[in-house]
Amino acid sequence: MVDSSTTITLPGLEDGRRADEPCTIVIFGASGDLTARKLIPALYHLYTEGQMPESFRVIGVARREKTDESWRAEMRAGVETYSRTHQVDDAQRDAFAANFEYHPGDLTDADTYVALAKRLAGLGDPCLVNNLVFYLAISPSLFGEVVDQLHTAGLLHRMGEDDEHWQRVVVEKPFGHNLQSAHVLNNHLLRHVRERQIFRIDHYLGKETVQNIMMFRFSNAIFEQLWNREAIEHVQITVSEDIGVGGRGGYFEEAGTLRDMTQNHLLQILSLVAMEPPPSLAAEDIRNEKVKLLKSIRPMTPEAVATNVVRGQYFAGTVNGDSREGYRQEERVNPESNVETYTALKLFIDNWRWSGVPFYLRTGKNLPLRASEVRVQFRPTPNVLFAAQGHLDLHANALTLRLQPDEGIFLRFNGKVPGNSIETRPVRMHFGYDAEFGAYTPEAYERLLLEAMAGDATLFIRRDEVETAWQIVDAIREGWGGMPLSNREFYAAGTWGPVAADDLLEPDGHKWHNPKPAER
């Protein structure tokens, strides 16, 4: 929300930024869905926009036997299918695919890594040989194994300040399944690399509007002065999904929504919305403030969990005219499962800025629509000036940051309806990315891959961030104590969640604001 003639650059937000040093990206899990749907199209878009290094290679590693050419053909098909552009230039696509090689091998076999080292040495250019991004698009159970093997093969080591070349490890979520496992995994990785070499991905942090939260807050004095307990009554963060668990029933039975979404996406958005201004725009200064914010969240005692946390599970219903079966009927799900597909939390941040302000966080599957937004509800004005006009319906001002889809920012305030009577109606000021800038919104993985190659960790999660978030989530799970779901915790697919979630806000006199398909 800055004037279009003003240019301000943040780490991770540079306009026209490119990764300058030649490098090789090694993707473990090259045959997986993430590689085809997200990683390759993201790299292609960076390539066509001139943001890749002038010289680069992409080596895919997976168990299946393929040739370089057969994998290139698969990648070309992936670009055709999943590119965000309407028309793919054949010449550009073929020139892009020429940088790809395929390396078959078992990820638990040392010979795979010895052969990989030989393949890399054959690239010739010292930068392509030694500037390496290892992307672990694989099961979390293999993270430690792959890093061990890379180190043993001489491909990965702890970087010194004066090292001419670099290696970085990009890790997909989930990063552990509780605090203890995350702590063990962090220690395992740090045997062979330094913290600054580990890039833990939460793809939500790559979304344009999420990044714009910092720009919006810290470059607009009119809002930053109101961003505190004096002006704000409460904050709602909603991440809703209009799909069920699909074929991920086995994974979801182990994770649940609390681990799958709340521990990472929701708490990361919360930290950006509520953190203090960093002393500089350096990656570590920004991440320091995020950690301080997470550590300021009031501890979740069992009593607090009982009153401030709601879980839910969907049963059969209809979403956008499409019939959906219940969670317990999904493939690879226990027919008596108590795993949550919905969570809602009321959190308090015990610091000077936010003391006493409730933050409501919710996320769930098979809700009416797919949307992510932050809604800031300001305190109402004293009902003194208009007390004589008892019929006036004065609404509190609200600011909504829409993260996806229809990315934008909406400000609601009261306006007088034209005419002789004193009648008010809430009206909106609307800023939309598409309407204002007339340009595409980059996919999250484009930004994240670019920053990993450039070595900018601003948009990635640090070790203490991960472990602090797990500490919050573990306390909630401990508070649940294996109790079965109650009737008030089930919800029909296609609704906005269980009635218990409404109960969470009712004592405070608040109600959920449900996202709409497009707020114009």
| Half-sphere exposure for 259 (CA within 13 Å, toward CB) | 20
Q: Measuring CA to CA, which residue among 342, 341, 320, 319 is closest to residue 330?
A: 341
Distance CA 226, CA 357 (A): 13
SS3 assignment for 280-317: CCCHHHHHHHHHHHHHCECCCCHHHHHHHEEEEEEECE
Q: How many CB atoms are located within 10 Å of the residue 350 CB? A: 12
Strand pairing partners for 236? 360, 375
Angle formed by the axes of helices 208-218 and 267-274, to 10°? 20
CA distances 203 to 168, 171, 459, Å, are: 17, 11, 9
Distance CA 270, CA 257 (A): 17
Distance CA 306, CA 73 (A): 54
CB burial of residue 118 (10 Å; 0-12, 13-18, 19+): exposed
Known catalytic membership, residue 391: no
Distance CA 490, CA 487 (A): 6
Tokens of 39: 């990683």
The DSSP symbol for 265 reads I
CA distances 54 to 24, 39, 199, Å, are: 12, 19, 23
CA distances 504 to 188, 344, 513, Å, are: 40, 8, 13
Tokens of 167: 């290696």
The DSSP symbol for 135 reads E
Pseudo-torsion of CA 179, 181, 185, 188, nearest 10°?
110
Order of all β-strands in the sheet with 198-200: 100-104, 56-62, 23-28, 132-136, 167-171, 198-200
| Half-sphere exposure for 114 (CA within 13 Å, toward CB) | 3
Decide: 149 and 105 in contact? Cβ < 8 Å.
Answer: no
- Of the residues 103, 165, 265, 513, only one is catalytic, namely 265
Task: State the catalytic residues.
Answer: 265
